[in-house]
Structure 1
Amino acid sequence: MRLIDLTVLLDPANREKLPPALAHAAGVVAPKITYLNPAESAGKDEFCASLGCAHEDLPDGEGWGSEHLTDFSSHCGTHVDAPLHSGSRCAGEPARTISDIALDELYRPGMVLDVRPWAKGGEIITVEMLDRAIAATGRPVKQGDALLIRTGQERFTMDDAEFYNQPGMSREGTLYLTGLGATILGTDAVGWDLPFRVMNAKFRESGDKQVLWDGHKAITSREAFIVQQLTNLGALPLAGFHVGFFPMKLALCSAAPARVVAFVS
């Protein structure tokens, strides 16, 4: 059994790579981290404050290592979206939060849908593309599958403009995959939908509000969990593996950062 990590690193340095227009969303990239080193004053001070001693009392002259994490979103890095992220109701019922989801719903057979030969930045991933990618796996989608869409976006870093110009899923494509039985939908892109600027342009041109975030909004019709910012999909076979999506257990939240690991025989 091989374990393959599909999770991006939460590195505060990436916050500085965001373009100015997205600076407000830095908490989606990584938290701010204050590092307390055991050999430095900050680590010693916290140790002493907790144990009621002075620096000269430290057993080996050191305190402890600790970190303070601030300013980060429940959608930080590789994360699992609960249905609540898409709307307050799902299929006519109150939408579930991340803490409502059982672990056995988050350990599923996986398939990689490699759409790189056809998908283009800033454009829709069509049902035809999805069908071709499914056919390439050698098996049909089964009820409860996790479908991981490989767009190729992981080749771009956050300081590359193309990182924010991902191929995106539509309402039609999302409902197509959930209609086949998929309950987890993942992508290596920064978002599941088209880039925000592209959706905004479509809305302004057509006046149709249904084009706004339609891939996510499809989840209000048929429940599934969306996972974004995956990495390392190229290390996986197209089928024949399981994936564990292990989000932090945050009460009443619409998402949580997750450690996503593939289990390959």
Structure 2
Amino acid sequence: MKIVDLSTAVDAALWEPEPVQHVPMSPRQGAEHMTSAMHEHFGLELSPDELPDGEFLNNDTFTLTAHTGTHVDAPAHYGTNTEYGTPRTIDQLPLDWFFRPGFVLDLTGLDSPVARREDLEKALAEIAYEPQAFDIAMLNTGSWVRAGTPEYFTQFTGLDGPATDFLLDLGVKVIGTDGFSLDAPFSHIISEYRATGDRSLLWPAHFAGRRREYCQIERLANLGALPRPHGFTVSCLPVKLTGAGAGWTRAVAIFEDEHAARREEVRT
């Protein structure tokens, strides 16, 4: 099979509004840490210098939010009051939502910070695909190339409310984007709200999750590198963070070996 990485890296060297902190522990430091912990917790004595090369195992401590890097938003992220009951946290969601056939809608040609229903209908017609319930929909906005820069958080395309409902009406439970957010940039949302006073314009894609239970994958990557827009499986299993509104994921697209599939067709 062929596996295409769809994830952005968690990298302390990249720009983030809430910076990532990465504290590495060398193998020598690991030896000192381990022997000290053995003495403190179990009363066992061992000198770091008694270990081969005076080293044990390295370790790394990262400090970051659950929304840093490629991650899955759970319904609990959208608010406490929903129309379908208590919103579930990331550890409570069914795993089979996150290992499903996927399809990509190309929105790279849009000259707008917001994609509307007609834009999604056009993109879906262009790939001649009929989504099935529980398919994972992914939006290629092209913004992932700015990941690690301040512009990544201000220049991307999000969905409005009707566009979000359009995908949910197809039976989709997981919507992914290569942008910072499934909603439009903050500046666009606030500008539209101030001009109209319409609260429905405030983060409509996220707040749709108060009406309908679904998840988002934010900060995907490489969607434009996929060899075709459908006919693959997406794996985006979230890390099991108890009680959290999101969990990191190493999202990938899995393409079965077409040559093996053809050989099996001939054999049967």
Work out whether the TM-score is over 0.5: yes
CA contact (8 A) 2:84 2:212 kept: no
What is the 5 A alignment of 1:2-81? 2-14=2-14, 17-18=15-16, 22=17, 25-26=18-19, 31-39=20-28, 42-51=29-38, 52-70=45-63, 72-81=64-73
4+ aligned runs moved over 4 Å, structure 1? none
Q: Contact (CA 8 Å) 1:6, 1:262: kept in 2 or not?
A: yes
Is the radius of gyration larger for structure 1 or structure 2? 2
Q: Distance in 2 between matches of 1:62 and 1:206?
A: 64
Once the two structures are TM-superposed, the CA of residue 160 in structure 1 deviates from its matched residue by: 5.3
Equivalent residue, structure 1, for 2:84: 92
What corresponds to 2:260 in structure 1?
none
In 2, are the aligned partners of 1:111 and 1:238 still within 8 Å (CA)? yes
Contact 1:76–1:256 (8 Å) recurs in 2: no
Equivalent position amino acid for 1:188 in 2:
D
Q: Secondary structure at the match of 1:80?
A: strand
Q: Give the SS at the match of 1:104.
A: helix
Match of 1:248 in 2: 239
- 101-110 or 58-67: which moved more? 58-67
Counterpart-to-counterpart distance in 2, 1:126 and 1:249: 33
Instruction: Tell me the distance in 2 between the aligned counterparts of 1:110 and 1:131.
Output: 16
Other-structure match for 1:258: 249
User: Which sections of structure 1, spanning at least 5 residues, go unmatched?
Assistant: none
CA contact 2:156–2:184 (8 Å) conserved in 1: yes
Superposition deviation, residue 2 in structure 1: 0.9
Secondary structure of the corresponding residue to residue 154 of structure 1: helix
Q: 1:67 to 1:59 in 2, by over 3 A?
A: same
| 1:208 paired residue number | 198
Identical counterparts, % of pairs: 31
* CA-CA distance at 1:112 after TM superposition: 0.5
How far the C-alpha of 1:79 sits from its partner, in A, is 0.4
Residue 129 (structure 2) aligns with: 139
TM-score (normalised: structure 2):
0.87
How far 1:157 sits from its partner (Å)?
3.6
TM-score, with length taken from structure 1: 0.88
Looking at structure 2, the residues matched to 131 and 115 of structure 1 have their Cα atoms a distance apart, in angstroms, of 11
SS at match of 1:205: helix
Structure 2 unmatched runs, 5+: 39-44, 257-268
